[in-house]
C-alpha cells in the first residue's frame, strides 16, 4: 500500500476540510487504489459513492475502505467501528495532514439475532436482515457496499439481477419457496426493499422505523413483489 501514499495524500488535500475517502481493491491479482467521491452531507463524515463502490466491486475484490480524519487523530469514531463491523472490511484511517495510519479490523459476527432488532440504515436494515437470516442457515452471503439512503430517489438501482447474482442468487419464476429472497418495489421505479420467504404466506424482513419481524405477505406486501430469487447452490 505504501506505493499509493502520495496519491492518497493528494486526494485528501483535494477534499480538505472534508474527509477524503477511497478503497483498495485487488484487480486481476494487482492491488490498486481508487479515490472515491464523498457524498456525505456532514463535513466530519464520509459516505463513499455507492455507484463507484459497486463498479469497483464488480471489477475485483475490495480489501480496505480508506478515509482521512482532517486535523484530527486517526482513532476510529464509534461510527467508524460500527460500519467497519457492518461491512466486514478493514478500515484504514489516516490523520491528515501528517498521514499517520490506523488499521481497524472488523470484529467477527456472532450468530445474529433475527427478530426485534432496531432499525438503523446500513447496520440493521432490510438487506442486513436478509443476509443474517441466510448466515443462520449456513450460507455465505457477502457483505454489501454502503448503500446510499433513499437510493431509489437518486437514480440508483441496487437490486438488479446481475448484482443479486453476486450474492449467489438467481431469479426464478413460478411458486415461491421457503428461503427465497423477495425484492419489493414500493412507490418507486426500482426495487427498494427485500425480505425472505418463510413458507406459507409469511416472510421475514426489516422495514424502516419498525423492528425486524415475520409478517404475512397478504394483503399489503404481496402486491409489491417484483422479483423472486433462489440461492443457486
List, run by run, the mean pLDDT of 10-residue segments along the chain (233 residues).
Answer: 91 96 86 94 90 86 92 94 86 96 80 80 89 87 73 87 90 94 96 94 91 90 96 83
State the catalytic residue, choosing from 11, 197, 205, 206. 205
Has 205 been annotated as catalytic? yes
pLDDT value for 150:
86
Length of the chain: 233
User: Which residues in the chain are classed under CATH 3.40.140.10?
Assistant: 2-104
0.85 surpassed by pTM:
no
3-state secondary structure of 216: strand
Quick check: is 126 catalytic?
yes
CATH number of 2-104: 3.40.140.10
Can 11 be counted among the known catalytic residues? no
Query: Considering 84, 126, 194, 197, which one is annotated as catalytic?
Result: 126
Question: What b-and-e string marks burial along 153-178, b requiring 16 or more CB atoms within 10 Å of the CB?
Answer: eeebbbbeeebbeebbbeeeeeebee
Question: 126-231 sits in which CATH class?
Answer: alpha beta
Q: State the span(s) of the chain assigned CATH 3.90.1720.
A: 126-231
Our measurement of the distance from residue 44's CA atom to the centroid of its chain's CA atoms, rounded to an integer in Å, reads 20
Q: What is the pLDDT of residue 110?
A: 55
The residue from 11, 193, 197, 206 that is catalytic is: 193
| pLDDT score recorded for residue 85 | 85
**What sign results for the dihedral spanned by CA atoms 208, 213, 218, 221?**
positive
Q: What is the pLDDT of residue 220?
A: 92
Amino acid at each position: 500500500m505504501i506505493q499509493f501514499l502520495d496519491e492518497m495524500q493528494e486526494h485528501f488535500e483535494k477534499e480538505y476540510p472534508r474527509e477524503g475517502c477511497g478503497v483498495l481493491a485487488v484487480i486481476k491479482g494487482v492491488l490498486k487504489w481508487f479515490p472515491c467521491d464523498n457524498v456525505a452531507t456532514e463535513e466530519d463524515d464520509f459516505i463513499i459513492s455507492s455507484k463507484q463502490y459497486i463498479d469497483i466491486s464488480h471489477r475485483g475484490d475490495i480489501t480496505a475502505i480508506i478515509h482521512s480524519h482532517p486535523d484530527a487523530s486517526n482513532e476510529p469514531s464509534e461510527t467508524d467501528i460500527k460500519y467497519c463491523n457492518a461491512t466486514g472490511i478493514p478500515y484504514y484511517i489516516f490523520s491528515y495532514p501528517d498521514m499517520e495510519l490506523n488499521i481497524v479490523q472488523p470484529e467477527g459476527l456472532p450468530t445474529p439475532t433475527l427478530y426485534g432488532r432496531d432499525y438503523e440504515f446500513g447496520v440493521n436494515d432490510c438487506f442486513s436482515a436478509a443476509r443474517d437470516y441466510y448466515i443462520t442457515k449456513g450460507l455465505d452471503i457477502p457483505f454489501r457496499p454502503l448503500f446510499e439512503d433513499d437510493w431509489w430517489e437518486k437514480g440508483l438501482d441496487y437490486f438488479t439481477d446481475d448484482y443479486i447474482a453476486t450474492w449467489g442468487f438467481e431469479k426464478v419464476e413460478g411458486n415461491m419457496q421457503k428461503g427465497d429472497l423477495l425484492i419489493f418495489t414500493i412507490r418507486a421505479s426500482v426495487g427498494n426493499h427485500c425480505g425472505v420467504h418463510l413458507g406459507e404466506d409469511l416472510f421475514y424482513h426489516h422495514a424502516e422505523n419498525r423492528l425486524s419481524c415475520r409478517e404475512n405477505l397478504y394483503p399489503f406486501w404481496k402486491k409489491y413483489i417484483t422479483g423472486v430469487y433462489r440461492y443457486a447452490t
